[in-house]
Structure formats: structure tokens, C-alpha cells
A and B are shown apart, each in its own frame.
Chain A
């Protein structure tokens, strides 16, 4: 038996971290190679992470809801010796090198290893460091950090004198230095992870971070009960401590609880394992948050759990009682009626992307309206044909084609600014991103080579991508490589907006709803179907005049769809 650690693999180009949404297995479960073990949400897609081992789940290192950098160990498996021939061989090779170094010219080591020897060596490799004696030279702090990060310290390359391993080496290894071959083949790509971020959580290395204040849980539990009773009269959603005798929780959950100053026995849960109440990290956080908002809403009892300075600027009494002074600089505490929603996963990815775009590219939005009588007719004419071919024909393919016409004429809108290189790349492909609203937030799947595709083909592709975006079944690669984006907010309603560019693209076209609106024709106000357009551009790259000219070309093609045939 060997224990294999498994790191979060690179789940898509350039994805540096993901939120572990759901564990599909629990310790003790038997898994087969390629069986999905977890769902991870990364850069706008929900992907299943498959096991690369046959074996039994030994330990889960990550809580559901946690952000995990690519390359971090998330799970370990107990792997049967004969379970994976490939692994065993790779490891015994490493073992052989190590023991050769140890034994010098010991004959026995150089003979052909049989299966049994293989297994033994594979076992030995688990703890086999580079030094001959099975020793790793690292200070206690580095060794503890290795355990904390789930790193086999024997596999870490030391950068100190003589190969001594420091904390930085351990961290580097944890972050995706899957340089050691023994780590398993499936994680090789982890080292591609760009821009490794510091690994999360290792804050209480050694004893430095440990609080010396002793909290007696019995007393604390009882007090918070009274506290909650008081609170209940003022705020109906104040949590009741469950005050159980025993509670099952993973060590990681207990750690979260300690950090938040919450007694796991008090955390409400309906979940049970083996007949005992079972609490997850999420439960603990939710309870801690509920306690905090309670503290903000009512006079905090003097000895209510007060794990971290809660900003109670709304209540001077509470501040006095709790002993934590309100600080104007901190965001105000949520009121009793407020709900806190985690800013993580897709939401945070979108947020970061928006922030980056808006703060990087000076946006200018150009508005205009196309009169689309002919387009409406053209679509109506093509519709039966489309239905016969089982295609749901919307206006989107026409718009996409019209945009390609505009982009061909004004390539600067189909571009990317590479500031560092001091160059603007005018893209040769016409890959259009289509923004799709999903329950989890905005997703932008990309239709490639729009210039080469027919209307029906585009219709099919857009529908398929949109449907899968809503089901969150898109692969990360399907959201990459766009050169220009479209956002169809009109599908929900509205005329004009100020779309935000899908950075590093330089332009985005927003579509209002196609509706009959008053237009002036021959001096008369008449009703005609119109399509309001909102074009945002990166003003660093594109001039306002260019944007307007581009919009004109697009409108021309929408107003005279026959022109699309000339493309």
C-alpha cells in the first residue's frame, strides 16, 4: 500500500485556481482511475476532476467552497501495490536511484527487480529523500508546513546549502512544482500554472500564530445560548446554538471553527455521519456570519462568542459591551435583514474580469439604431427552411455576419493591445464571444471563424453554446480565444446600455430588443422594427470616428441583409 497525493490539475489554459464546489467521494470510498472525485468551478466552468489512481480515498485536504490553486494537493488515495503498474515502475526507478546512492555498489540492488521488490521499493520511495540515510534536512518549521500543505517533504527540492529545504521550497513545491516524477503522471501539467499565487492558509506555522487565550467551551457554549435567547427577541433570524455533546467534523473544519471562534457543537446542521451530527466548513462559516450579524443587530452580551473584532458601529452599546471599538474605516456590519453572499467562484471571476477591463481600457460607448424591416423579412423567409433542417434561427447569426463585415473593414475593432510589447495585434480570426446570462453569472462562449460559417451553422452553434453555458457544461477552452464580443441584453429587455469590453478584446457590441419603434420616413413618423446598438470601444486603440464608421457598416448590413451575401 502506498499513499498517493493528488493535486488539482490544470483544468484549462491559464486557470490558476478553482473553487472546490462538491466532493463526490468521502474518505474510505473506493475509487477507480478516471472516476470523478470532485467538481471544481474554474474560470467560468464547472469541471469534474477525475482520479488518476485506483484505490481508496485516504484524506480530503480541502473544504467544499474553498479556492484551491492549481497544483495544491486536494486528496490522497491509498493505492494498492499492484494497482497501478505504471506508477509502481516510475517510483521504483526513483527508489533504485536513491538506494543505489545509499548502497554504493551493492550488487543486490542492480539485479532485475521482481514484482515484490518493485512494490517494496515503491513503498520506500514514499519517504525516500535525496540523502542516503532516508533523512531530509529541513528545519521543524518547514517540516510542519509541509504537513500542513500536504506535501511529502522528501519530494521537495531544497535550495539551501547542501540541499537544505526551507519553507519557501516547500511552498514552491506545493504550488505546482510537480517536478518530482514520483508525484504521478496526471499532475505534470500543474507546473504550467501561470503566475503561482502564495498557497492559502499557512498562517499558523509553528506556534507563532497560536492564540494563548484559553476559551472554555463549556462556559462559552452556555453563555452563547443565553445570548442567543436574548437576541431571538430582537432579531428573529439569530442562530440558536445547537449545543450538542459531540459533533463530527474534519480537522480542517475544526480549524475553521477555531479560527472563527465557533464551537462546532453549536453549529446547526441536519447532516449526520454514522448517526452523529456532521458539520462542514460552510456550516461553520454560515453560523459564524449569523453570529456576527446578530452582534451587529442587538446588544451583544458581554461574553457572547466574540471571535474576531466585529465592527458594531451601528450599536454603541454593543461596542462597549463587546470591548471592540467601532472603526470608521471598516465596512459597516450587515444589518439583521441583510444577507451575505459569498464573493467567490464564477461571481468573483466575473468581478475581477470586469474590474480589470474597466480600469484598464478607457471605455467609450457609441449608440445608434438600425432600421431592420428587411432583416425581419429575411429571417421570416428563411425560418421554414431552418425549421426543416431543425435549426432555430434567431437574429444573432445575421448580426454576427454583419459584425464580421464591419470588422473586415475596420480591423482595429478586432484587436488586442499588448501594452508591454508596445503593439496592437490585429486578429486574423473572427471569433465572436456571445455573452450568456446564467444562474451563476455571465459567461461568454466563443464561436470561432464566424466568417467561414453559414447562417444555419452559426445558429446551431450559438444555441448549443448558450444552452450548455446555462447548464454550466462549457469547457474552459470554449470560452477562450474570442476577438470581439456581443452582448444581447435586448433578449431580456431594454434599448441601450454601456457594455463592458471583454478584455483584452477592444470592442463589444450590445444589442437592444428588436421592436417596432417610431421612426421618421419621408417626413412622417411611422412604426418600424428597429435594433438599438450600443458599441463600447477601448479608446486607447480605437478612435470615436472609427467606432461610428464601424457601426455604420454593421447597420448597413443589417438594414440590407442581401449585402451579407457579398461577404
Chain B
């Protein structure tokens, strides 16, 4: 113990107030456990402050502006002017309401909130250093800990986020003006969401990606639809190139240098460079070794299906516990961690975790693709419904994409879904429910869906897989 330390005790210590940590803390308190939540920066974590929410706010704002300016076919003639500063201010208002809400919910549920940076002293003690000089620190003895310290953007050599013109995703979501030319390093989901956003806001966007396509984990027909739409929006892609460095350009801007594997170099003129090449777990400064915990070679804390680390009373949830690095996965893990500590029979037994990409059009996926199902030994049957056959899709003006359901031919169990198209992020929820409930194609097909909605496409895809679709030709 350090001189001046105040020692307190808690049953459950949660470190980090992102979607993993705050959810764990609230559930632990609901379970009647004395719970303390430590956050060093802002309630809500990356998701609410620099991730999901701010990005979706800007995606909606930019989408609206773009839509309004491109609706001549509907008889709408407009040329919206975007005040970027004002849009970011609006976004900040949304963030403030949500993060304030998180804080209130924690308090209302009886969670002890402490602001500061936590680190482990030993297996049952943590120290919290309060922010700012002379603020002191306190020791907290805990019975159980939940590490939910999240992740941060990976920096690549030659691109220091401290530089004004080198952006992390957080910077891209806090910009007060739209750069004329935006270079984006990385064609993953964060890079693509921001590429779409800035293209719609009028920037000339250039995406540099080492692999030979965007959105690596997705299927070709899914990627193609998103890539072609991005190209329509003016995004320029350079595949097979890695960013090597930047230099100052003659025009007052900068040059983004890239290199292929074969050593061919190129440069692209930019005003800002967004580096979005992935995220890495935050464990530095935590002194995990004092609690007897090691991280794997990528820096993640390994956990079991009850979210326990190798040291059983210390759990890890969210991005710091590895893939999938998604907010809803973090929250699910947080709930399981709290319930396991409370002695409930909880476990990470979900069949699938859905994922969404908020590009234009959106992507929503859950469970297995056809190939994956086959690799797992199923005899998959697939049904599709293209949105260009959907009445509702036509009335929104967005008919790209499709709903695809993958099921086991023998039993009819729904195994997976890939949706690309308008509102795919919402539509995927139905498929996730079907998978989780062990629903069959027949169950989905026989469920009456509202007309006219995009969700009908899910029903139609199920019918299609059964060779009984009404609105498409059966395969």
C-alpha cells in the first residue's frame, strides 16, 4: 500500500466502463453484489464516445444530406449545405445523453463509480490512481474482478496519431470540417464506414488496402455490392498496397506513399490520412502479471465460456478478451461474467453473434455462410431474395442487395444469414433470433410478415430455400 492510500473493499471490481464493463457492473449490482466500476476516461467506453454511436450519427447525417441531394428521380431537387461543426456538435449531444445515461443507470442500480486508472497489485487488490496531479490513489480489495479495458486503434510505423493530419477513427469522428482529400489506410469495416461517410460529405476519398478487396471476412457477392456502390460515390480503391509513409506535398497538402509486395511504390495526394487498420487490446498499465494473468501473443486475455481468465476469480470481457470485437458481444460477455460471479448458471452459449457494417448499403450477417456450413459437415440449402424484387425496397429508392438464408437441408434449421441492402443491420435481428431459437426455414416462412416491409425479404428467402417463393423464381 502506498502512503496516503485509502483502502476499500468490494465484491466485484469492474475495470472499464465500455459496453462490456458497465453492463457487467449493472447486472452484478442487480444480482445483489457489492460492485465498484472504475473508468479512467469516459463512461460508455469506445463504443459511445469514439465508436459505434458517433460513427452512426455521422453516417446518418451524411446519408441524409447525400440522399436529399440525389433524389431528382423522386422529383426532389436540393443541394444541401453541410455545416460539419454543427453536425459534430449534434453528434456530441447524442453521445452526452447516452454517456450521462450510463452513469445514471449505474448509480441507480447501486454501482459504486470511481474515476481513475486501475491496476492490479495482487490477486485480490487493485490500485486506482485518480486523474490529475496530487489526486492520490486508493487501494481496492476485491473478491472478483472483471477486466473490460477495451481496445485502441493500432498505429502503424510512420503514422503517428499525434500528427494533426494523421487521423485515428476517433479523430475522424470529431473533425470540425470535411477535408478535400481523405486518404484511408485499411478497407475494413471502420475504414469503409468512414469512407462512405466522408465521400457523401464531399471529400475525395482514396482507400488503400493491402489485401485485394475490402471487408475481408465477407463473401465476394457481399463485398462487391458495397465496393461498387462506394465507387459510385467516388471512392477510389487501391488494393495490394500498404501505406509506408507520408510526406509534405507541393500543394500544401500531403502525399501518402504506398508500396506493393513487389516493391512498386505509389503516392496519393491527401489532406488527411485516416489509419484504420484494426484495434489492439488495452492491457498496458494494468499490471495483469500482479494478478497472475498472462496475455496471449496478440495481447488479449484468454477466457473460457464463463468469461473466466486463467485466474478464476478474474474475468475478462469485451475487446480485451478477443474476437469478435463488437459492442454487443462485449455486453453479452459482461452479463455472463456478472451472473457467473453471482452463481447463476450463465455461459457464453450463443449459437452466433450477429455483425453489422453501416456502409451504403448496409451489411448484416449472422451465423454460417454456405461454405462454412459445408465445412462444418452440414448439407446446406440456401435461399435468396434480391431487394430489387421487394416492393418496399423500391419505394425507398434502394434496391441493391439481397437476403440470403443458409439452412440445414435435412432438418431445416436456420444456420446463417447474409444480408446486404437497406436496413440490413436491423433485418439481421430476425435471422439471429431464428438461429438462436433453433427455428427452421418453415418456421420463418410460416411467420406472417408485415407488408410492405423489407423484412418480408427474410420470409421470401426462407420460402425460396424451400422452393416455394412467390415473388422470385425458385432456384
Residues of B within 8 A of A163 (CB): 411
Q: Do residues A254 and B412 form an inter-chain contact, with CB atoms below 8 A? A: no
Residues of A within 8 A of B92 (CB): none
Task: Provide a sorted-by-A list of 20 A–B residue pairs whose CB atoms are within 8 angstroms.
Answer: A102-B377, A103-B377, A133-B373, A133-B377, A135-B376, A137-B413, A139-B438, A140-B349, A140-B436, A161-B443, A162-B411, A164-B413, A214-B29, A214-B110, A215-B32, A216-B110, A246-B143, A251-B342, A251-B344, A258-B31
Q: Do residues B34 and A217 form an inter-chain contact, with CB atoms below 8 A? A: yes
Q: A162-B411, A258-B342 are in contact. List 16 more A-B contacts (CB 8 A).
A: A131-B378, A134-B376, A137-B411, A137-B438, A138-B438, A139-B437, A140-B349, A144-B349, A160-B438, A161-B442, A161-B443, A162-B408, A162-B412, A246-B143, A251-B344, A255-B343
Query: Which single member of A148, A161, A212, A255 contacts B440 (CB below 8 Å)?
Result: A161
Given A102-B377, A212-B30, A218-B34, A164:B342 Cβ within 8 A = no
Q: Do residues B9 and A245 form an inter-chain contact, with CB atoms below 8 A? A: yes
Q: Do residues B109 and A214 form an inter-chain contact, with CB atoms below 8 A? A: yes
Given A139-B438, A252-B343, A132:B376 Cβ within 8 A = yes
Q: How far is the CB of B466 from chain A (nearest CB, A)?
A: 13
Residues of A within 8 A of B376 (CB): 132-135
Number of A-B contacts (CB under 8 A): 84
- Could you tell me the distance between the alpha carbons of A288 and B440 in the complex, rounded to whole angstroms? 47
- Could you tell me the distance between the alpha carbons of A161 and B446 in the complex, rounded to whole angstroms? 14
The answer to whether A210 has its CB under 8 Å from any CB of chain B is yes
Residues of B within 8 A of A161 (CB): 411-412, 440, 442-443
The answer to whether A173 has its CB under 8 Å from any CB of chain B is no
Residues of B within 8 A of A214 (CB): 29-30, 32, 109-110
- Could you tell me the distance between the alpha carbons of A165 and B408 in the complex, rounded to whole angstroms? 16
Q: How far is the CB of A301 from chain B (nearest CB, A)?
A: 20
Using a CB-CB cutoff of 8 Å, which residues 215-272 of chain A contact chain B? Answer: 215-218, 245-246, 250-252, 254-255, 258
- Could you tell me the distance between the alpha carbons of A163 and B410 in the complex, rounded to whole angstroms? 11
Number of interface residues of A (CB under 8 A): 37
Residues of B within 8 A of A254 (CB): 342-343
Q: How far is the CB of A100 from chain B (nearest CB, A)?
A: 11
Using a CB-CB cutoff of 8 Å, which residues 333-354 of chain B contact chain A? Answer: 342-347, 349-351
The answer to whether A453 has its CB under 8 Å from any CB of chain B is no
The answer to whether A44 has its CB under 8 Å from any CB of chain B is no
Q: Do residues A162 and B32 form an inter-chain contact, with CB atoms below 8 A? A: no
Q: How far is the CB of B43 from chain A (nearest CB, A)?
A: 19
Using a CB-CB cutoff of 8 Å, which residues 414-451 of chain B contact chain A? Answer: 436-438, 440, 442-443
**Chain B residue with minimal CB distance to A247?**
B143
A-side residues, CB < 8 A to B, are: 101-103, 131-135, 137-140, 143-144, 147-148, 160-165, 210, 212, 214-218, 245-246, 250-252, 254-255, 258
Q: Do residues A144 and B346 form an inter-chain contact, with CB atoms below 8 A? A: yes
Residues of A within 8 A of B342 (CB): 251, 254, 258
Q: How far is the CB of B397 from chain A (nearest CB, A)?
A: 37
Q: How far is the CB of A210 from chain B (nearest CB, A)?
A: 7
- Chain B contact residues, majority secondary structure: loop
Residues of B within 8 A of A165 (CB): 438
Query: Which single member of B30, B109, B349, B442 contacts A210 (CB below 8 Å)?
Result: B30
**Chain A residue with minimal CB distance to B373?**
A133
Q: How far is the CB of B108 from chain A (nearest CB, A)?
A: 8
**Chain A residue with minimal CB distance to B335?**
A207
- Could you tell me the distance between the alpha carbons of A435 and B411 in the complex, rounded to whole angstroms? 59
Residues of B within 8 A of A255 (CB): 343-344
Q: Do residues B378 and A132 form an inter-chain contact, with CB atoms below 8 A? A: yes
**Chain A residue with minimal CB distance to B30?**
A214
Residues of B within 8 A of A160 (CB): 438
CB-based closest 5 A-B pairs: A251-B343, A162-B411, A132-B377, A133-B376, A137-B438
**Chain A residue with minimal CB distance to B345?**
A147
**Chain B residue with minimal CB distance to A144?**
B345
- Could you tell me the distance between the alpha carbons of A217 and B442 in the complex, rounded to whole angstroms? 49
Q: Do residues B410 and A147 form an inter-chain contact, with CB atoms below 8 A? A: no
- Could you tell me the distance between the alpha carbons of A278 and B352 in the complex, rounded to whole angstroms? 39
Using a CB-CB cutoff of 8 Å, which residues 28-57 of chain B contact chain A? Answer: 29-34
- Could you tell me the distance between the alpha carbons of A214 and B107 in the complex, rounded to whole angstroms? 11
Residues of A within 8 A of B442 (CB): 161
Q: How far is the CB of B353 from chain A (nearest CB, A)?
A: 13
Residues of A within 8 A of B436 (CB): 139-140
- Could you tell me the distance between the alpha carbons of A134 and B412 in the complex, rounded to whole angstroms? 16
Residues of A within 8 A of B413 (CB): 131, 137, 162, 164
Q: How far is the CB of A432 from chain B (nearest CB, A)?
A: 49
- Could you tell me the distance between the alpha carbons of A278 and B345 in the complex, rounded to whole angstroms? 21
Residues of A within 8 A of B109 (CB): 214
With a 10 A CB-CB cut-off, give which of B376, B438, B440 has the most chain A CB atoms.
B438
Residues of B within 8 A of A218 (CB): 34
**Chain A residue with minimal CB distance to B412?**
A162
Q: How far is the CB of B31 from chain A (nearest CB, A)?
A: 8
**Chain A residue with minimal CB distance to B437?**
A139
Q: How far is the CB of B75 from chain A (nearest CB, A)?
A: 48
Residues of A within 8 A of B408 (CB): 131, 162
Q: How far is the CB of B203 from chain A (nearest CB, A)?
A: 44
Residues of B within 8 A of A137 (CB): 411, 413, 438
Q: Do residues A217 and B32 form an inter-chain contact, with CB atoms below 8 A? A: yes
- Could you tell me the distance between the alpha carbons of A254 and B438 in the complex, rounded to whole angstroms? 32
- Could you tell me the distance between the alpha carbons of A217 and B344 in the complex, rounded to whole angstroms? 18
Residues of B within 8 A of A101 (CB): 377
Residues of A within 8 A of B346 (CB): 144, 147
Residues of A within 8 A of B143 (CB): 246
Residues of B within 8 A of A143 (CB): 347, 349
Residues of B within 8 A of A162 (CB): 408, 410-413, 438, 440
Q: How far is the CB of B114 from chain A (nearest CB, A)?
A: 15
Q: Do residues A258 and B438 form an inter-chain contact, with CB atoms below 8 A? A: no
**Chain A residue with minimal CB distance to B347?**
A147
Query: Which single member of A132, A135, A148, A258 contacts B351 (CB below 8 Å)?
Result: A135
Residues of A within 8 A of B373 (CB): 133
**Chain A residue with minimal CB distance to B306?**
A147
